[in-house]
Structure 1
Amino acid sequence: MEVIQWIVAAGTALFVALVGFFQWRTAQDKAAFDLFERRHDIYQIVRRAVQQMVSSSPEFDQAREVEFAETMERAYFFFGDDVYKYLKALWNDILDVRTADSEMAGGSLSPAELKESLSRRRKAMDRIQQFYGTGQPLFARYMRFSRRLW
C-alpha cells in the first residue's frame, strides 16, 4: 500500500513539474513574440519611411519626420547600438535629401551651389536605397527566433 502511495505521489510531482515546465516555456515564447511585435512595428515604420523617400521624397512631410524621430527613440531600447547607429545615419541622409529638395525648390542657388546640393542629395539617396542590403539584415538579426516555435 505504501508503495502505491509513493508511486502516485511521485507521478503527481512529475506531472506538476512537467506542467510547470510547459507553462514556463509558453511564457518565454510569449515574451519573445511580444518583443518581436514591438521590433517589427519599428521596422515597419523605418521601411515605410525608406519607401516614401525613394518613391517621392517631397511627400515625406513633417508628420513622417516626427514619426521617424519617435521610432528612433524607441529603437534605442529595443535594438542594439548597431541598429541605432544605422537609424541615426539614415536620419541624417533623409535630412540631407529633404534639405536639398527644399534648396532646389527655392531656386535661389548658384550653379555651383546647385551642383553641390545635387551631389549631396544623390549620395544620401544612394545610401537610403541600400536599406534592403544594409539595414534590413541589421533588423533581421534581432527579429529572428532562435528556435522553431511550431
Structure 2
Amino acid sequence: MGTGLQAAQLIVTIAIGGIAAVIAWRQWRTAQDKVKLDLFDRRFAVFMDVRRLVSEAYQLGKFTDPTLPNETIAKARFLFGDEIQEELGRLHALCVRVETNDPDAPSEMNTWFDQFMQDVKPYMSLGHLKS
C-alpha cells in the first residue's frame, strides 16, 4: 500500500506542477500582450499626431500648435525603425516648409502621407507587431 500512496503523491505533485506551469505561461503571455498593446497605443498616438499635422497643413496651410511637429518626431524616436525615422525627417522638412509659407508644401505633405501610411502599416498591426 505504501508504494501505491507514493505513486499517487507523485502523480498529484506532477499535476500541480503542470497546472502551475500553465498558469505561469499564461501570465507571461498576458504580460507580453500588454507590452504589445502599450507599444501599439504609443505608436498610434504618434500616427494620429502625424495625421493631424498633414490635415492642418493641407486644410489650413499652418499648424494650430507650432510645437506639434517637433513633439511628434521626438515621441516617435524610439518607437519605430530607421526607415520610419527617415520618413519623419522628411515630414519635419515639409513642416518647416509649411511654416515658411511654401505654397507647394501642403500638397507634397499630403502625397508623403499616402506613402507613410503604407510604410508604417507593419508597425500598426496588433497581431504582428514589429518589436
CA RMSD of aligned residues (A): 1.6
State which of 115, 125, 133 in structure 1 corresponds to 2:106.
125
Count of residue correspondences: 124
TM normalised by structure 2 equals 0.86
Cross-structure match for 1:95: 96
Please list every run of at least 4 consecutive aligned residues from structure 1 whose deviation after the TM superposition is greater than 2 angstroms.
124-127
- The 2-side partners of 1:6 and 1:45 are apart by 59
- The 1-side partners of 2:83 and 2:66 are apart by 21
TM normalised by structure 1 equals 0.76
Unaligned runs of 5+ residues in structure 1 are 102-119
Cross-structure match for 2:35: 31
- Aligned letter for 1:78? L
Moved more, 135-144 or 16-25: 135-144
Work out whether residues 61 and 106 of structure 2, in 8 Å CA contact, stay in contact via their aligned partners in 1.
no
Moved more, 14-23 or 133-142: 133-142
Unaligned runs of 5+ residues in structure 2 are none
CA deviation after TM superposition for structure 1 residue 14, in Å: 0.2
- Aligned letter for 1:66? T
